[in-house]
Amino acid sequence: MDARFAATPAPPFFAVIFSSTRRDEDAEGYAEAAERMVELASQQPGFLGVESSRDAGGFGITVSYWESEAAIAAWKHQADHRATRERGRQDWYAQFEVRVCKVERAYGFVNKDLA
């Protein structure tokens, strides 16, 4: 298994789609915080996994997966996460969009020639 894919269960579950563009500042502070937030999220009750990609042009999409809306709300109110989000608005992001979703169907494919 490629660990960049989240091993999510059968639906229903929940997803937070976070699309963003970065400012050209504090790359190191941002990278450290991003890593710490993934570590912290993965310790939250109801966390199912995360997938993340940022392209060469600086456009990124991170999707975190959760068992319930209550788990998402608890993560939103986690103190360190709150403080880090505030820094994100002030220092790191040019723009972001957040969409909170209920995953209703899911399927996947692994190429057998490569597996």
User: Which parts of this chain interact with a copy of itself (CB under 8 A)?
Assistant: 2, 4-6, 8, 11, 15, 17, 19, 21, 23, 51-57, 59-61, 63, 89, 93-111, 114
Q: CA 47, 53, 54, 55: dihedral to nearest 10 degrees?
A: -170
Nearer to a copy of itself, 44 or 96 (CB): 96
Please, what is the minimum distance in Å from the beta carbon of residue 38 to a copy of itself?
14
Please, what is the minimum distance in Å from the beta carbon of residue 68 to a copy of itself?
13
> Are the C-beta atoms of 61 and 18 separated by less than 8 Å?
yes
Nearer to a copy of itself, 56 or 79 (CB): 56
What CA–CA distance (Å, rounded) separates 90 from 56? Answer: 23
Please, what is the minimum distance in Å from the beta carbon of residue 33 to a copy of itself?
16
Please, what is the minimum distance in Å from the beta carbon of residue 110 to a copy of itself?
5
What CA–CA distance (Å, rounded) separates 6 from 52? Answer: 10
What CA–CA distance (Å, rounded) separates 92 from 89? Answer: 6
